[in-house]
Chains A and B, each alone.
Chain A
Amino acid sequence: MAKDSRLILDPLTDNNPITIQVLGICSALAITAELEASIVMSISVLFVMGVGNVVISLMRNIIPSKIRIIAQLIVVATLVIIVDLVLKAFAYELSKTLSVFVGLIITNCIIMGRFEAFALGNGPYRSFLDGIGNALGYGIILIIVGFFRELLGSGTLLGIPVLGDPIEKTGLYALGYENNGFMLLSPMALIVVGIIIWVQRTRNKALIED
């Protein structure tokens, strides 16, 4: 089953939804200022995409093609509401940070894109792998961006100070280091994603389109 493993591995590297297909950029910009938010967002999307792809795949023969977008939206919306309620119940503070962006998973282009491009034409098992693969590809970029933005912007990781205390001037701060406030602003997320794209295409020249 070499082909099935590609369904998971391809989106992680050479067919990454964010860096190659350039989908789902909005949430990558909005919520990656903290690593924790990035991770939770990735898990939420992983759940929605994995389950959603299976559901759509199971229903693919009974959905009339004229109203398929509506059907897909209902499936995503249902799953997103489940995620939202779970977050509110078990991680209330975090759900406030993520606020509308969990709701906006509904409009994440990656999800609708995979429904349209894959789940409508493939069986549930392969659709599941495809959904997981793309969500992981999305998540890995979010986590890389979130890692650098939180580390350089706030000097913390997952809320734990790793570079010392900026007010007490310990650790790196004793040497005159300061947090980079620009990292916390959205433009920097775009630039970090751009740098990832740059590195990726330098390593694999086949990805350069022109």
Chain B
Amino acid sequence: MGLKQNLHNFKEKNKDKKWLPGFNALFTFLYMPNETTHNGTHIKAADDLKRTMNTVIMALVPCLIFGMFNAGYQHYLAQGLIDSADGFLGASFWTWDNFVIGLWKVLPLVVVSYGVGLAVEFVFAIIKGHEVEEGYLVTGMLVPLIVPVDIPLWMLAVAVVFGVIIGKEVFGGTGMNILNPALTIRAFLFFAYPTWMSGDKVWVHGAVERDQAIANGANLDAISGETLLGYYAKSGQELTVAGTDTVTTYGARAEELYSYADMFWGIIPGSVGETSKFLIIIGALFLIFTKIGSWRIMLSTVIGALVMGLIFNGVVDAGWIGETSKFYGLMSVPFWQHLIIGSILFGAVYMATDPVTASQTNKGKWIYGFLIGFISIMIRVFNPAYPEGVFLAILLMNVFAPTIDHYVVQANVKKRMKRLKAKVA
């Protein structure tokens, strides 16, 4: 008797136990269940929900590993321990030291995210008496990637409990949720603990602690790592360049801060897994190739962002807005650069395409994605308090997705009615 048979016998023996869904959840990781549906129409296909989710996780793994290296790299870079920053393929990035620090900081985030989230799922499955649903597998992977590296673990745990219960379980569990649970978790963190979720200290490991040590009298240099968005959001304010007497304005020094190549390859401060645009594009191609992610949503989100960027560039070119305006910094960013600063690509590829919360119709997907991109850039430019508006834009469009679908379907019904009438007449 093989392992599979043993496990199966074990399952048969404990059929009536309350904890059986918990066992099944782990069992189906390894093997396809050998039961078939007994009623209703069903599609026969090899990829069940668990296989689908695993594909997305595979697409996320490169981002996670990169995020670990980057966390360490930013940490040492900010402390001045890395002399020659030589880019994505450079020797100073892929070092063991970087990885160890990153692993030390990021792995607990993954463990807490999965541990707490799956515990909530198991509890609900047992209370409601159904099988454990797989919905949390991807959410649990996304959550560590979209938070700052230094977020306290208990905050993450509280947010995960909130996000899974209020974002998903109250609506009836996986497949019934209106909002993307991972983004619900991020939104909760953002509004509940803003000091840990935005600003110039949270993106680099150790920056906050060091700041406190300095406040207590330690003789250290302060380190900080602003994201480019946080930097632009302050444009127009005066800035004293460290070590010199030069006083300039924020927007003017953007080019000195990070090069386009750094932004594209992702060796900049930011949330753990969203910085590398290169790996996100690889993940996107993988998802499109396996037909898991919708290319319509990804493409239309990018188009939406570019259109909004072009409009803002037009406003600047037309001279309707002065250099002293606080919107000038972000408005004058060339439209294509909006794609490599901030996390719009990550949102477009992994968040907006969530099949449960996105629009279902093909035409609806175009509208849904376009508006996500459009609104993201709008929030980014107009609200300096939320320099990264992508998660808000996606949550907003999640709410409207069913409405979009409704009108798309109704329009189709109307069109066919007209055709039918023309035929009859």
Contacts and interface: CB of A to CB of B under 8 A. Distances in A.
A176 interface: yes
A198 B127 CA distance: 14
Contacts of B188: 182
Contacts of B195: 178
A185 B170 CA distance: 21
Interface in A170-210: 176-178, 180-183, 185, 191, 194, 198
B58 interface: no
B250 to A, nearest CB: 26
Contacts of B196: 178
Interface in A140-182: 176-178, 180-182
Contacts of A176: 152, 154
A182 B191 contact: yes
Interface string B246-289: 00000000000000000000000000000000000000000000
A183 B193 CA distance: 10
B194 A181 contact: yes
B154 A181 contact: no
Contact of B192 (A180, A194, A198): A180
A199 B327 CA distance: 46
A178 B170 contact: no
Interface residues of B, number: 13
Contacts of B152: 176, 178
B155 interface: yes
B307 interface: no
Contacts of B193: 178, 180-181
Given A191-B166, A198-B170, A178 B155 contact: yes
A61 B170 CA distance: 48
B191 A185 contact: yes
Contacts of B192: 180-183
B166 A181 contact: no
Interface residues of A, number: 11
Contacts of A185: 191
Contacts of A182: 188, 191-192
Interface of A (DSSP majority class): helix
A185 B191 CA distance: 9
Interface in B173-208: 188, 191-196
Nearest to B152: A176
Q: Identify the interface centre among B166, B192, B193: most chain A CB within 10 Å of its CB.
A: B192
A198 B326 CA distance: 45
Nearest to B155: A178
A180 B155 CA distance: 9
Nearest to A202: B127
A191 B191 CA distance: 14
B225 to A, nearest CB: 21
A182 B196 CA distance: 13
Contacts of B170: 194, 198
A163 B194 CA distance: 20
Nearest to A180: B192
A181 to B, nearest CB: 5
Interface in B146-162: 152, 154-155, 158
Nearest to B187: A182
A176 to B, nearest CB: 6
Nearest to B193: A178
Contacts of A194: 170
Nearest to A198: B170
Contacts of A177: 154
A191 B192 CA distance: 14
B231 to A, nearest CB: 24
A194 B155 CA distance: 22
A169 to B, nearest CB: 10
A51 B367 CA distance: 55
A46 to B, nearest CB: 32
Nearest to A178: B193
B418 to A, nearest CB: 38
B280 to A, nearest CB: 29
B172 to A, nearest CB: 13
Contacts of B154: 176-177
Contacts of B166: 191
Contacts of A180: 158, 192-193
Contacts of A198: 170
A181 B196 CA distance: 11
Contacts of A178: 152, 155, 193, 195-196
Interface in A98-136: none
21 contacts: A176-B152, A176-B154, A177-B154, A178-B152, A178-B155, A178-B193, A178-B195, A180-B158, A180-B192, A180-B193, A181-B191, A181-B192, A181-B193, A181-B194, A182-B188, A182-B191, A182-B192, A183-B192, A185-B191, A191-B166, A198-B170
Interface of B: 152, 154-155, 158, 166, 170, 188, 191-196
Q: Which 9 A-B pairs have the closest CB atoms?
A: A182-B192, A182-B191, A180-B192, A181-B192, A176-B152, A178-B193, A181-B194, A191-B166, A182-B188
Given A178-B193, A181-B194, 5 more contacts: A178-B155, A178-B195, A180-B158, A181-B193, A191-B166
